[in-house]
Amino acid sequence: MSKLTQELAEARPDEPFDWIEFSTRLNDEFAAATTSEERAELLAARAVAMEFVVRQLELHGEQLEKFTDACDLEYILGVVAAVPVPRRPPRGDLAGPD
């Protein structure tokens, strides 16, 4: 169990939850994760934290939609950032023999 997952398990509904701080740490851990199991646990933690925030702030309608849209965008950006991009060789290397 990751430290973030443990913190979520111990979070109290009557205490303010710092989504921005949690999300920043989660994104950092996601970028550093080396296995699909680690990433899956972090994605599950993100889902639990989102539900916690929705319940705690009693988000509905447009507020809920804006929050989930922002979370979805942040998730997509995190996944894209975590995907290794192969380095292209310099153009001269593609020319082949003379």
pLDDT, one tens digit per residue, over 5-61 is: 888 889 888 888 898 999 999 988 888 888 989 988 998 899 999 988 888 888 889
Which two tokens mark 24? Answer: 């920043």
Residue-wise burial string across 33-57, b where 16 or more C-beta atoms lie within 10 A, e elsewhere: beeeeebebbbebbeebbebbbebe
User: How far is residue 60 CA from its own chain's centroid?
Assistant: 22
- Position 8 scores a pLDDT of 87
For residue 34, tell me if it sits in a domain: yes
**Is the pLDDT at 95 greater than 70, yes or no?**
no
For residue 47, tell me if it sits in a domain: yes
Domains in the chain, number = 1
For residue 95, tell me if it sits in a domain: no
What confidence category does residue 81 fall into, taking pLDDT thresholds of 50, 70 and 90? confident
Which range among 12-16, 19-23, 80-84, 93-97 shows the weakest confidence by mean pLDDT?
A: 93-97
How many Cα atoms within 13 Å fall on the side-chain side of residue 68? 12
Range of the domain at 64: 3-84
Which two tokens mark 15? Answer: 């205490």
